[in-house]
Amino acid sequence: MAERIDYIEFPSAERARTSAFFQAAFGWGIVSYGPDYDGIADAGIDGGIDQAPERVAATMAVIRTDDLDGAERRVRAAGGEITRPQFDFPGGRRFHFREPGGNEMAVYVARE
């Protein structure tokens, strides 16, 4: 599988209000994964709303891969800066990076 944008995360200081807004404005489904994170359903792309203290500052595209270590090597070789080293999350394992233009993004491999 070639890497592709597979998910989008929205940071929010008011997760419940952001979720309610997306539901009311666009009819998107919301799935709660705890006090700091809601998943988005039926939006055309999977996504989430993140209220955790360590959330990123801006909306973040998340790229799916089958080879997390290889993707990290390619990101570094292309001039990307790792902003959060690889870590486990409920859906698998991922890392965050900043591309040379300043956008923070993430790459993940799904849990088998």
Residue pLDDT, tens place only, 37-84: 999 999 999 999 999 999 999 999 999 999 999 999 999 999 999 999
What is the third-level CATH fold of 4-110?
Answer: 2,3-Dihydroxybiphenyl 1,2-Dioxygenase; domain 1 (3.10.180)
pLDDT at res. 39? 96
What residues does each domain of the chain span? 4-110
Helix (H, G, I), strand (E, B) or coil at 51: coil
- The answer to whether the CB of 62 falls within 8 A of the CB of 78 is no
- The CA distance from 85 to 80, in Å, is 13
pLDDT at position 1, please? 59
State the residue for tokens 């998943």.
39
CA distance 92 to 69: 13
- What pLDDT is stored for residue 2 in this prediction? 79
Evaluate if residue 87 carries a pLDDT over 80. yes
Among 1, 18, 6, which Cα is nearest to 70's?
A: 1
